Amino acid sequence: MKLKKQFFLNDVLEVAPYLLGKTLVRRFEDGTIKKYIITETEAYRGEEDLACHCSKGKTQRTSIMYEEGSKIYVYLIYGMYWMLNFVCYNEGEPQAVLIRGIVGFDGPGKLGKELQINKEFNEKEISNCEKIWIEDNNKTAKYTTKPRVGIDYAGEIWKNKLWRFILDENI
């Protein structure tokens, strides 16, 4: 069954690890439906988190993260890769979980390409979207935590946070 909106109102540090092992379902333009197991996520949490886009405050790009949880946040990085995120927690407190890996497509850029993610997904409702959704299995997966990737600019405190969650069986 689909993950409910309520689930994304929790703190991102609860949401990110819980998403591991869950099934990400994508309905493509031609009607084909494919399912992928989520293997890796990363948490970005609040304006004080220097690695979070919201550390620079509310802008046109980041305004979606200030809304209530369960919205999809998509953006283009390095001019070629679409990143897929889900907004978490309460309105006014920006948090998001980045999907970094799914079975068979290890890396946020690769999975964005495979899922054919584009700017049209931005600001959609993940709990009520006909193109993409997540299926719950009511299980808690075993996982390993590591520092986040690609954020050396965030400073020692935030760089060393263990907010990257990796599904154990996939290592």
Q: Which of 4, 34, 35, 61 binds DNA (CB under 7 A)?
A: 61
Q: Which of 3, 64, 151, 167 binds DNA (CB under 7 A)?
A: 151
- No. of helices (H) and no. of strands (E), the chain: 3, 9
Q: Which of 29, 80, 130, 138 binds DNA (CB under 7 A)?
A: 80
39-68 in b/e form (b: 16+ CB < 10 A) is bbbbbbbebebebbbbbeeeeeebebbbee
44: Cα separation from own chain's centroid: 9
Residues in region 11-30 near DNA by CB under 7 A: none
* Binding of residue 52 to DNA (CB under 7 A): yes
> For residue 135, what are the β-bridge partners?
2, 23
Is residue 117 within 8 A of residue 84, CB to CB? The reply is: yes
* Binding of residue 79 to DNA (CB under 7 A): yes
Rounded Cα distance between 75 and 123, Å, is 11
Q: Which segment (5-13, 27-35, 44-52, 158-166) binds DNA by CB under 7 A?
A: 44-52
* Binding of residue 156 to DNA (CB under 7 A): no
Q: Name the minimum Å distance from CB 130 to DNA.
A: 24
Rounded Cα distance between 97 and 164, Å, is 10
Q: Which of 14, 107, 114, 136 binds DNA (CB under 7 A)?
A: 107
**Contact set with DNA (CB under 7 A):** 42, 44, 51-53, 56, 59-62, 73, 76-81, 83, 85, 96, 98, 107-110, 148-151, 153
